[in-house]
């Protein structure tokens, strides 16, 4: 099981930014930006979700699609092209993953 480094990176950035802003709002860090008290917790939550998705590869766009008539026709066409020698297995795999 691999992980998506880009999602993890943005997750860590959001967690760090949210933690810094929350620490500022509670008086633990001092800098001249004034924000309402609890909204940085939302940044932390978004960062945690991004890191979770990146680490556990929950990419919703790559979930299996419904096997409707169009999908069955596309699969049939790909298999026929492989049988006729017009398409290699690697190309077919790429098309199936699109």
In tens, the pLDDT along 23-72 reads 888 888 776 655 666 677 777 877 887 787 777 765 555 545 556 778 88
Whether 57 and 11 map to the same domain: the answer is: yes
- Of the spans 5-19, 37-51, 74-88, which averages the highest pLDDT? 74-88
Of the candidates 45, 43, 50, 49, the one whose C-alpha atom is nearest the C-alpha of residue 20 is 43
Predicted confidence at residue 72, as pLDDT, reads: 82
Residues 13 and 58 reside in one and the same domain: yes
Handedness of CA 53, 56, 59, 64 (dihedral sign): negative
What's the average model confidence in pLDDT over 73-85? Answer: 88
Are 72 and 97 contained in the same domain? yes
What is the distance between the alpha carbons of residues 23 and 29, in angstroms, rounded to a whole number? 6
Q: Return d(Cα 13, Cα 18) in angstroms, integer.
A: 8
Q: Quick one: 18 and 51 in the same domain?
A: yes
Q: Are residues 57 and 20 in the same domain?
A: yes
Give the model's pLDDT for residue 33.
57
If asked whether residues 17 and 52 sit together in one domain, one would say: yes
Same domain, 74 and 93: yes
Q: What is the pLDDT of residue 62?
A: 52
pLDDT of 61 reads 52
Report yes or no on whether pTM surpasses 0.75. no
- Overall domain count for the chain: 2
Structural domain that includes position 22: 5-62
């Amino acid at each position: 099981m691999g992980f998506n480094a880009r999602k993890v990176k943005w997750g860590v950035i959001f967690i760090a930014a949210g933690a810094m802003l929350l620490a500022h709002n509670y008086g633990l860090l001092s800098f001249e930006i004034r924000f309402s008290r609890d909204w940085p917790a939302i940044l932390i939550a978004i960062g945690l979700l991004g890191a979770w998705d990146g680490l556990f590869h929950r990419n919703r766009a790559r979930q299996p699609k419904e096997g409707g008539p169009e999908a069955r026709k596309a699969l049939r066409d790909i298999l026929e092209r492989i049988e006729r020698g017009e398409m290699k297995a690697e190309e077919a795999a790429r098309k199936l993953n699109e």
